[in-house]
């Protein structure tokens, strides 16, 4: 189990600061109420099983205990395993809570595409701590403290994903324009590639002193609308930071509108890769 996160002064981190839109106390109370009712339900099933057995009927307890986890593993035994079934229910309840807290905390909007994927996989596989006040405080306290590191890592990941097959993509810095491969298909937008744009938009918002964009209102929906509304190629989409032209070969040509922000991104690259310091504009 995770330990309670403490700040530099040794004081327990205020959960309201970490997830301001959620009452953690109420959430944990609801979790306990749900788990208690699950236990009561299994107790009723056990009673039904005893009645059925005495009347030489079927065995509903065995069937009910063959509960399946998200990965398809049968957690029930030959004669039913109440403990395993209860644990599967708890894992499902806790997984939903961790997803909810991540969205409401705003931390997901700061995560790079890779970090979001890692979090989603851990939740899907139930590789998560039990939902307690201490675990919530430790997890989101650590995320809050690593905001700057996550921000820099997002810039580095976007840069590393660029293809050097195109002369506009410079191997030592971000230039005025970049080309992203496989940004669209003939029938729509490539969800995986468009995550690079969400990473870029997140970086631009932070560098511009504006609130991070909400990941639930990301580039995929906006580009999909532009894809449908534009007949033929190139299909064009613009916002305050980018001008994007989608071509029939799936490539997206992206022109940066704010070169001052591009210089700031290059400054982050130079900090982490000093031997590849980009030339001054």
The pLDDT profile of the chain, 281 residues, written as one tens digit per residue, is: 333 333 333 334 566 677 777 888 899 999 999 999 999 988 887 788 788 878 877 666 655 555 444 444 544 444 456 787 888 889 999 999 999 999 888 787 777 777 888 999 999 999 999 999 999 988 888 888 887 788 788 888 878 777 556 566 566 688 888 888 888 888 888 887 787 788 788 888 888 988 766 655 677 778 888 888 877 888 888 889 999 998 989 888 999 999 999 999 888 888 887 766 545 55
**Positive or negative torsion for Cα 144, 149, 155, 157:** negative
Q: What is the separation, in whole angstroms, between the first and last Cα of the chain?
A: 50
What span, in angstroms and rounded, lies between the C-alpha atoms of 61 and 50? 9
pLDDT of residue 8: 35
The Cα 113–Cα 199 span in angstroms is 7
pTM above 0.85, yes or no: no
Long-range contacts of residues 135-139, Cβ cutoff 8 Å, at least 24 apart: 135/1, 135/2, 136/15, 136/18, 136/19, 136/24, 136/101, 137/4, 137/5, 137/12, 137/13, 137/15, 137/18, 138/2, 138/3, 138/4, 138/5, 139/2, 139/5
Output the pLDDT for position 31: 96
CA pair distance 147, 152, nearest whole angstrom: 9
At residue 81, the pLDDT reads: 65
- How many whole angstroms separate alpha carbon 222 and alpha carbon 245? 13
| pLDDT of the residue at 217 | 60
Q: Write out the DSSP string of 132-185.
A: -HHHHHHHHHHHHHTHHHHHHHHHHHHHHHS-TTSTTS-TTS--SEEEETT-B-
Spatial distance between the Cα atoms of 164 and 171, rounded to a whole number of angstroms: 7
Before 234, cis peptide (omega within 30)? yes
Q: Choose among 148, 254, 272: nearest CA to 200.
A: 254
């Amino acid at each position: 189990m995770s330990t309670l996160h403490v700040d530099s002064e040794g004081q327990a981190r205020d959960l309201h600061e970490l997830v301001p839109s959620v009452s953690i106390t109420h959430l944990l109370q609801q979790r306990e109420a749900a788990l208690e009712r699950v236990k009561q339900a299994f107790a009723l099933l056990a009673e039904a099983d005893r009645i059925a057995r005495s009347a030489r009927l079927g065995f509903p307890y065995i069937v009910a205990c063959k509960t399946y986890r998200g990965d398809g593993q049968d957690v029930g035994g030959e004669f039913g395993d109440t403990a395993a079934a209860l644990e599967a229910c708890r894992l499902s309840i806790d997984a939903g809570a961790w997803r909810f807290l991540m969205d409401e905390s705003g931390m997901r909007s700061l995560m790079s595409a890779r970090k979001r994927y890692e979090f989603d996989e851990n939740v899907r596989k139930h590789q998560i701590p039990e939902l307690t006040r201490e675990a919530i405080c430790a997890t989101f306290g650590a995320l809050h403290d690593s905001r700057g590191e996550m921000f820099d890592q997002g810039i580095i990941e976007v840069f590393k994903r660029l293809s050097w097959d195109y002369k506009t993509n410079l191997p030592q810095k971000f230039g005025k324009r970049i080309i992203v491969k496989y940004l669209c298909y003939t029938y729509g937008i490539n969800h995986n590639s468009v995550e690079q744009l969400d990473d870029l938009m997140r970086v631009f918002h932070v560098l511009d002193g504006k609130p991070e964009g909400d990941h639930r209102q990301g580039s995929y929906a906006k580009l999909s609308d532009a894809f449908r509304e534009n007949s033929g190629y190139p299909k064009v989409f613009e916002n305050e930071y980018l001008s994007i032209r989608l071509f029939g070969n799936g490539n997206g040509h992206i022109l940066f509108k704010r070169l001052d922000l591009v210089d700031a991104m290059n400054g982050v690259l130079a900090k982490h890769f000093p031997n590849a310091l980009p030339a001054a504009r």
